[in-house]
Amino acid sequence: MEGKWGLAIAIYLYVAAMAGGAYFVASLCCIFGPEEHRKTTCYGYLYAIPLLIIGAIALIVDLGQPVRFLHLMKLFKFNSPMSAGAWALLVFGIFCVVSSIFALSEDAKDGVFGTWARWISALVPRKEVAAIGAMVAVFLMAYTGTLLNSTSVPMWEETPLLSGLFLASGISTGVALMLLVNRKITQVPQLYALEEFDNVAIIVELTILFFFLLMLHRETGPDGHSLTHALVTGSLGAWFWIGAVIVGMILPLIINFFSALSHKESGKAPSILSPILILIGGFILRVVIVYAGQVGLG
């Protein structure tokens, strides 16, 4: 690991995983969902594009200069996490653009874009593209944890569960983004279906987080403390427990449960507070893991 990683890397890990989560869920909806619901659920493809742009900018900021980012793209090196990640962003971006054309073609009837979109939709198999793109999205989400695993930082290096944790969190934040942005264009039953899917993702995330902490607690760092010490104690510990765990995971589950009980039958949309908390908590989770892993390393 060269130098310290800061907020730029945390932002990159956050938005890249969220982009993958939004695309992944949109793909599932488009492959398995009813035809009449395809329009709104496929907009997850569109949301992924600006997130990828933000992620690429954050990565360039961390590298220090755009030339270093372009150098990563010159030659694919599978054994280099940074090179693999840069190429994953590029390949995933291509799938996002093609899939977004499919989503926009649902509305496009006339004009040059409408003709162009219909040609692409006719020539390129929609569901196959969505399925392959979903696999690339899973790779990208898991990679955000693998990037930290590849360093020599003990807290990141000693557990393979970071990839699973960021994968589950990426799906959760991706669904939360769709729940937040899609509220005006998505039917209420679809919103509750997305919310239920998010509940599953959060429960998986909490389960992986438990074993992540358990695994690290058994290991001792260079300072003689458990590898979880900086993460679960002190100022970072407060942010972790309150911001990432309570605000980002537990409270949304509770809100979703009572929201479904009181609003689902009456036809009211799910609570808007829950996806906001998930998005906040997902960002805090990356920040505290990035900073806690580097405590005491100089």
CA distance 195 to 271: 10
Report pLDDT for 44.
82
Answer for the pair 79, 7: CB distance below 8 angstroms, yes or no. Answer: no
- Residue with more model confidence, 134 or 227: 134
Beta bridge partners of 220: 226
Classify domain 7-292 by CATH architecture: Up-down Bundle (1.20)
**pTM for this structure?**
0.88
pLDDT(224) > 80: no
Answer for the pair 264, 209: CB distance below 8 angstroms, yes or no. Answer: no
For the chain, the C-alpha Rg in angstroms (whole number) is 20
CA distance 276 to 173: 9
pLDDT digits (tens, 9 = 90+) for 100-112: 877 777 665 566 6
Sign of the torsion angle spanned by Cα atoms 11, 14, 20, 25:
negative
Answer for the pair 222, 168: CB distance below 8 angstroms, yes or no. Answer: no
pLDDT digits (tens, 9 = 90+) for 253-277: 999 998 888 766 666 878 899 999 9
Residue of 202, 175, 201 whose CA lies nearest to 190: 175
pLDDT(223) > 80: no
Domain boundaries in the chain?
7-292
